[in-house]
Structure 1
Amino acid sequence: MTSLFAAAPRYCSRFGVAILLVALADFLFYGQPAGITVFLFALLVAAAVVAVHPAAVSDGRVWLKPAALFVALLPLAENVSALSVSTALAALAVFALSLSGRLRHRIARIAGQVALFLLAAPFRFASDFIRWRKTARRFGRRRVRLAAIAVWVMPLTLGAVFLALFGAANPVIDYWLSLIDLLKLLDLIQLTRIAFWLFVLVGVWAFLRPRVPRLGRRIPRTAAVNAQAEKTVTTIEDILFGKAAILRALIVFNILFALQTGLDATYLWGGAALPDGLSYAAYAHRGAYPLIVTALLAAGFVLAALRPGSATSADPLIRRLVYAWVVQNIMLVISSILRLDLYIGIYALTYWRVAAFVWMGLVVSGLALIIARIALQKSNEWLLSANLLTLSLTLYAGCFINFAATIANYNVDHSFEMTGQGIPLDAWYVRSLGPSAFPALDRFLDHQSRTAAANNPAVRELAGRRGSDEGWYRTQQNWRAWSFRDWRLLGYLDSKGPFVVPHRIEPYLPGR
């Protein structure tokens, strides 16, 4: 019973902190654009996590964790996007688990914990509520409710008394109190607003009571495997993944990959003429993505065949063949990058093609780490941790890259209108990239205004849409929507001055 009454204040204090965060979220987000407020709210959630784990503050190096969290939250100040929000959620999960003493020490295990934490987060509040109800029925509902209410009686009563005294002594506070209209507050209660409150409450509660579900705690203990079955499995494994099978497979795979690398070296790097009816664009497009799948399958085979401590992993010949094959896989991915670059040179840049470049770079890094794992005789867990660290650093760096501006600048700078070669600019796709494309569109329209193309109705319509887009963008700005990226863009727009639709240019006629 004593532990129950001791738990009541902890639950109630966390619930009070959660309600305070809900109120702040309502002020920052409901009916408002998202911007710097997301960064501020993430800091508030982090402060709340520290407040409900006071014992963690006694650690002399506790400042390292908030400092690391602050660095992880910086992408939110740069720009609010799905990538920056995902990075912030993962960082907050690691921070909360760390302060509660539940965080593991290896990157691969931490990644698994974060994934389970985020998957279970929507159900944490309901689970704790059901647990609290069961405890209440076990020990008596009245006493539990009394314990939950009693901890708030003194703070609320004295708080009301102090507020009344301050109101009597300070006319400003008295004026503020007179502005409180309870009937008007009731008008603010709407179904969508209540749903928003519940959504925020469920979200912040998971960080205030960080837990990771234990999926394997009820796995039954089994007896020893039957000797005959074990012998059968071993025999099958020897046949499929024995030294002889792996040696032959590596020889065949190296020959096949050498053939593919030779063809790429001939047509892509050597500039040899392609067969009739096949263009470089078709050659590049058909091979870019299937070759990545091939490299991933090859990596899976290496990990399955060369397990740490196995006989195949210790064989020098097999190790050399594996090194040669992985190097060929890296060359394969580099060929895929070159193919994609050729394709983009003809069909322009898009979000998916940028993502493909990033993905191919990660595959090259993963293949290089496989070589390092074999050479250094590391475990598969080390390999997984190294790949997760590489992925995390790549995604974090991507939060600070303005991909929309990069795509717009590339497509404008390599368009037929700007260079006299390539394909015409898909200006409406560039416009769909959003305000970040304004500088690139301005450069394109400035160039067009100096040519006869300014008389083109499509160009004039694009210029008109560009001006209306800027007007809409400026009307959306308030302090909640502020970000470093928008701040830089507004600085550019202010320095350029109001956007003016180019006047119609009369064609030059001889004799006039």
Structure 2
Amino acid sequence: MTSFLMGAPSYCARFGVAALLAALADFLFYGQPVGITLFLFGITLAAAVAAIQPSALSARGLWLGLGALLVALLPLIENVSALSVAIGLAAMAVFALLLVGRLRHGLARIAGQVALFLLAAPFRFIRDFLRWRKAARRLGRRRIRLAAIAVWVMPLTLGAVFLALFGAANPVIEHWLSLIDLFALLDFIQLPRLAFWLFVLAGVWAFLRPRLPRSFGRTARRAPPVPVAGEVPTTKPDTAIEDIVFGKAAILRALVVFNILFAIQTALDATYLWGGIALPDGLTYAAYAHRGAYPLIVTALLAAGFVLAALRPGSAPSSDPFIRRLVYLWVAQNIVLVISSILRLDLYIGVYALTYWRVAAFVWMGLVAAGLALIITRIALEKSNEWLLSANLLTLSVTLYACSFINFAALIANYNVEHSFEMTGQGTRLDFWYLRSLGPDALPALDRFFEHQSGTVAANDPPWRELAGPHGRDKASYHAGQENWRAWSFRNWRLLRTLDTRIPFVVPQGSEPFVPGR
């Protein structure tokens, strides 16, 4: 506890920097749209973290960490989303732990550190504040002279009394005092704003004083049992239950059965999905695709779990060549199963349009296929499960980073408009209200939809006015919101250019004919 206050100047400096960052956050974010300001705040926070650490300049990999942090913050320039913010927070946590020399080796261990750091971050400020108060009470005036504050209580109190008396006796002073409106000053104290400041202080404090719980990474080491003289050591029975149920013979039989079952499923998919054979009466391709897309992914995940449990590194089944070949065949069938699931989902989307969840399903299926391929690689190269976990985390990180630059809202809107019944004469009708919920990125696609409809639908058709009216208001609201520089992002800049270069259309009113470009 005493050592906590030995660095009191550093503690106070950190609090001062945190207060300045909170003031900057108030200027950038409070009551304002969020855009490029989040990237600017992230860069400022990184600079503050590096400046406040005494050993930052001598830290190993500092410049590499700065470069990696900058790359991780680039998605915030493209667009502010939950994904880009999560990537930025994770990179900031890695950078802060790197500067204080607490970052471990290995992607899996680093991921555990980052998760624990972010979970404990909201409570770091409160915990340090309580520790500081406790240490101050124990050390008293030796380190922090709280009495220096108390000696001002009496002078300020009597001074206020004297000032009130002077105001009653002197009209000039009374006039000056009348200009001070205490209730107006209280109006500046806004509880939501105060909560915002406390939230920012707690958030940035965790990065300015990066720490991990002391118990993290510590494992209890049990001393080996000391043999007692004359005691006969007990050995594990040769016919233990786990050796029978999960032994080499059981795993071999399970792999044979699983391969046969998966071969049947693969043959059916090859017949109906890849071969184009007609389905049984009453069953459509959409229903066939929808019923199998997600359960097959669960099946692949269970298969992956079985392989990891059955072929542990160093176990007897993992060293058997025949079992290894059966595992390779089974995992290969699982990869084909995932590919079939992707085709099923594609058929289903062709009938029922595209949504965020269906895009996420595509990404998820690709990750599952990559994970299965990595399982084969781990078995073939005889790597550890930690290597497999690190490889999957790397694949997931690269995928999420790439996804942060993809405009999924525009992708969904363009696909649904181009494949709608109104545009092609087949498929499902366009769900205008769902596309509107996607946000401003769907505006160009909806523009093309309305331009196409203007030549096929009567101008005085009520549904036409009902849809075109909200669309026009959405465009006007988006343009108005982009006048604030804080809302700028590279994606918004591109969207504005697209909207400005398109020929505007006028929403028809009443029986007035619709004239594009007027």
What secondary structure, in the 3-state scheme, does the structure 1 residue paired with 2:422 have?
Answer: helix
Are residue 486 (structure 1) and residue 485 (structure 2) matched?
A: no
Give the counterpart letter for 1:488 in structure 2.
R
What secondary structure, in the 3-state scheme, does the structure 1 residue paired with 2:55 have?
Answer: helix
What secondary structure, in the 3-state scheme, does the structure 2 residue paired with 1:130 have?
Answer: helix
Confirm or deny: 8 A CA contact 1:448 1:454 kept in the other structure.
no
Q: CA deviation at 1:240?
A: 2.1
Q: What residue ranges of structure 2 are gaps of 5+ in the alignment?
A: 150-179
What secondary structure, in the 3-state scheme, does the structure 1 residue paired with 2:430 have?
Answer: coil
Q: CA deviation at 1:458?
A: 1.5
Cα distance change of structure 1 residues 261 and 315 upon mapping to structure 2, 3 Å threshold? same
Count of residues in Structure 1 that have an aligned counterpart in Structure 2: 476
Q: CA deviation at 1:498?
A: 4.6
Cα distance change of structure 1 residues 416 and 149 upon mapping to structure 2, 3 Å threshold? farther
Cα distance change of structure 1 residues 57 and 147 upon mapping to structure 2, 3 Å threshold? farther
Bigger drift between 448-457 and 480-489 goes to 448-457
Q: Pick the structure with greater CA Rg.
A: 2
Matching residue within 446, 451, 454 for 1:449: 454
Q: CA deviation at 1:324?
A: 0.1
Cα distance change of structure 1 residues 500 and 144 upon mapping to structure 2, 3 Å threshold? farther
Give the counterpart letter for 2:352 in structure 1.
Y
Are residue 301 (structure 1) and residue 300 (structure 2) matched?
A: no
Give the counterpart letter for 2:189 in structure 1.
I
Cα distance change of structure 1 residues 148 and 265 upon mapping to structure 2, 3 Å threshold? farther
Q: CA deviation at 1:452?
A: 3.2
Confirm or deny: 8 A CA contact 2:2 2:135 kept in the other structure.
no
Q: How does 1:3-42 map to 2 (within 5 A)?
A: 3=3, 6-42=6-42
Rounded Cα–Cα distance in structure 1 between residues aligned with 2:356 and 2:5 = 55
Confirm or deny: 8 A CA contact 2:117 2:212 kept in the other structure.
yes
Equivalent residue, structure 1, for 2:163: none
Q: CA deviation at 1:64?
A: 1.7
Equivalent residue, structure 1, for 2:502: 496
Give the counterpart letter for 1:493 in structure 2.
L
Identity of aligned residues (%): 73
Rounded Cα–Cα distance in structure 2 between residues aligned with 1:38 and 1:310 = 50
Q: How does 1:248-397 map to 2 (within 5 A)?
A: 248-397=253-402
What secondary structure, in the 3-state scheme, does the structure 2 residue paired with 1:332 have?
Answer: helix
Give the counterpart letter for 1:336 in structure 2.
S
Rounded Cα–Cα distance in structure 1 between residues aligned with 2:148 and 2:305 = 58
Cα distance change of structure 1 residues 239 and 408 upon mapping to structure 2, 3 Å threshold? same
Confirm or deny: 8 A CA contact 1:12 1:148 kept in the other structure.
no
Equivalent residue, structure 1, for 2:49: 49
Equivalent residue, structure 2, for 1:134: 134
Rounded Cα–Cα distance in structure 1 between residues aligned with 2:216 and 2:28 = 37
Cα distance change of structure 1 residues 343 and 229 upon mapping to structure 2, 3 Å threshold? farther
Q: CA deviation at 1:60?
A: 7.5
Q: CA deviation at 1:436?
A: 0.4
Q: Deviations over 1:57-104 (max 9, x none)?
A: 135852221111011001111111111111111010011001110001
Rounded Cα–Cα distance in structure 2 between residues aligned with 1:443 and 1:149 = 71
Q: How does 1:88-237 map to 2 (within 5 A)?
A: 88-138=88-138, 140-146=139-145, 187-213=187-213, 214-215=215-216, 217=218, 219=220, 221=222, 224=225, 231=236, 235-237=240-242
Q: CA deviation at 1:182?
A: 10
Give the counterpart letter for 2:120 in structure 1.
A
Confirm or deny: 8 A CA contact 2:5 2:132 kept in the other structure.
no
Q: CA deviation at 1:305?
A: 0.5
Give the counterpart letter for 1:41 in structure 2.
F
What secondary structure, in the 3-state scheme, does the structure 2 residue paired with 1:146 have?
Answer: coil
Q: So what's the TM-score if we normalise by structure 1?
A: 0.88
Equivalent residue, structure 2, for 1:67: 67
Confirm or deny: 8 A CA contact 2:79 2:491 kept in the other structure.
yes
Q: So what's the TM-score if we normalise by structure 2?
A: 0.87
Equivalent residue, structure 2, for 1:81: 81
Bigger drift between 349-358 and 5-14 goes to 5-14
Give the counterpart letter for 1:501 in structure 2.
V
Confirm or deny: 8 A CA contact 2:416 2:430 kept in the other structure.
yes
Equivalent residue, structure 1, for 2:463: 458
Rounded Cα–Cα distance in structure 2 between residues aligned with 1:219 and 1:4 = 27
Equivalent residue, structure 2, for 1:407: 412
Rounded Cα–Cα distance in structure 1 between residues aligned with 2:393 and 2:309 = 19
Rounded Cα–Cα distance in structure 2 between residues aligned with 1:234 and 1:71 = 56
Q: CA deviation at 1:145?
A: 2.2
Cα distance change of structure 1 residues 336 and 28 upon mapping to structure 2, 3 Å threshold? same
Are residue 242 (structure 1) and residue 241 (structure 2) matched?
A: no
What secondary structure, in the 3-state scheme, does the structure 2 residue paired with 1:251 have?
Answer: helix
Rounded Cα–Cα distance in structure 1 between residues aligned with 2:301 and 2:242 = 22
RMSD: 2.6
Q: Deviations over 1:238-284 (max 9, x none)?
A: 11221111100000000000011111111111111212221111111
Cα distance change of structure 1 residues 404 and 4 upon mapping to structure 2, 3 Å threshold? closer
Rounded Cα–Cα distance in structure 2 between residues aligned with 1:300 and 1:36 = 42
Rounded Cα–Cα distance in structure 2 between residues aligned with 1:378 and 1:10 = 45
Q: CA deviation at 1:6?
A: 3.2
Q: CA deviation at 1:465?
A: 1.3
Give the counterpart letter for 1:378 in structure 2.
K
What secondary structure, in the 3-state scheme, does the structure 1 residue paired with 2:236 have?
Answer: helix
Equivalent residue, structure 2, for 1:162: none
Q: CA deviation at 1:223?
A: 5.9
Cα distance change of structure 1 residues 5 and 207 upon mapping to structure 2, 3 Å threshold? closer
Q: CA deviation at 1:25?
A: 0.7
Rounded Cα–Cα distance in structure 1 between residues aligned with 2:485 and 2:28 = 10
Q: Deviations over 1:448-470 (max 9, x none)?
A: 11113544322222112111111
Q: CA deviation at 1:218?
A: 7.6
What secondary structure, in the 3-state scheme, does the structure 2 residue paired with 1:39 have?
Answer: helix
Rounded Cα–Cα distance in structure 2 between residues aligned with 1:486 and 1:225 = 70
Give the counterpart letter for 2:11 in structure 1.
Y
Rounded Cα–Cα distance in structure 1 between residues aligned with 2:203 and 2:112 = 19
Rounded Cα–Cα distance in structure 2 between residues aligned with 1:60 and 1:25 = 30
Cα distance change of structure 1 residues 2 and 440 upon mapping to structure 2, 3 Å threshold? closer
Confirm or deny: 8 A CA contact 2:59 2:101 kept in the other structure.
no
Give the counterpart letter for 1:141 in structure 2.
G
Rounded Cα–Cα distance in structure 1 between residues aligned with 2:226 and 2:371 = 36
